Amino acid sequence: MSDRPTEPPASAWSFPPATTADEDGLVGAGADLEPGTLLSAYRAGLFPMPLGDSVGWWSPDPRGILPLSYLQVSRSLRRACRRFDIRIDTAFDQVLEACADPARPHGWISDDMHDAYVQLHELGWAHSVESWLDGELVGGLYGVAIGAFFAGESMFHTHSDASKVALVALVDALKVTGGALLDVQWATDHLAGLGAVEIEREAYLELLAEAVTRPLPDIWREPMVFRMLED
């Protein structure tokens, strides 16, 4: 992976403003999942999810984010962090496949979505944070990074606390980048328990506009392995 992501060709599609979303947060449907289209959507405050046989583009209001300073790490979770090795971008496809497991409830990652994010990863825009235990991948998350903005897409675990540890590692790594914005789309009960909050769409779009102009964090520049330490 190069030091800087490869900018793909511009999308052939244009999106309506995020502020035109309906009450469910749907801005529109259609277009494609080419890298240029996906990046254009994220920069505009949208993200894709399947909608029947098409692709829906969403901008919910309120929007879920995880302010880095809000992350809630219990003593037991911080101790759990010591049990895992954290790797960045060493098994992106494995993480994506685990997140896309059709046996998981409410699964939404189609084959087309899978292929689209693999392509984004190959260009240097999509990344994985992985939890490893005794040489086995046991949890992780993936998402899209544009400057200091990270759009968390999905996470999985096969070992207790493994996905939470990956999230702690992500937040710790992003803290070194000023103005970082960690987008979680919707602040589910699970994510709220870790510190996620909801903010109005207008405020989100302002934070996004600033974050995408900031430097890309060093953690996304090349695959790496590190061990987290207990505070």
| Domain assignment of residue 14, yes or no | no
At a CB cut-off of 8 Å and minimum separation 6, what does 122 contact?
Answer: none
Residue 106 falls within a domain, yes or no? yes
Alpha helices in 175-200 (DSSP H): 189-192
Compute CA 154 distance to the chain's CA centroid, rounded to the nearest angstrom: 7
The yes-or-no verdict on residue 107 having pLDDT over 80 is: no
The predicted-structure confidence for 51-68, as pLDDT tens digits, reads as follows 988 999 999 999 999 999
Q: Is a pLDDT exceeding 50 seen at residue 115?
A: yes
Residue 150 lies in a domain: yes
Predicted confidence (pLDDT) at residue 104 exceeds the cutoff of 80: no
Give strand ranges (E) for 62-148: 63-65, 85-88, 126-133, 136-146
49 located within any domain: no
Number of structural domains in the chain: 1
Mean pLDDT computed over 161-186: 93
Give the lowest-confidence range in 33-42, 106-115, 219-228.
219-228
Q: What is the CA radius of gyration of the chain?
A: 17
Q: In this model, does residue 138 exceed pLDDT 80?
A: yes
- Domain contains 135: yes
pLDDT of res. 1: 46
Phi-psi region of 41 (alpha: psi -120 to 50; beta: other; left: phi over 0): alpha
- Per the structure, the complete domain to which residue 135 belongs is given by 63-227
Mean per-residue pLDDT, 186-209: 96
103 is a domain residue: yes
Nearest to 158 by CA among 137, 143, 176: 137
Q: At what angle do helices 111-122 and 35-43 cross, to 10 degrees?
A: 90
Cβ neighbours of residue 183 under 8 Å, at least 6 residues apart?
Answer: 47, 63, 64, 65, 149, 150, 151, 152, 204, 208
CATH code of residue 73: 3.40.630.70
Is position 194 within any domain? yes
Residue 26 has pLDDT above 50, yes or no: yes
What is the overall mean pLDDT for the chain?
93
| Residue 56 falls inside a structural domain | no
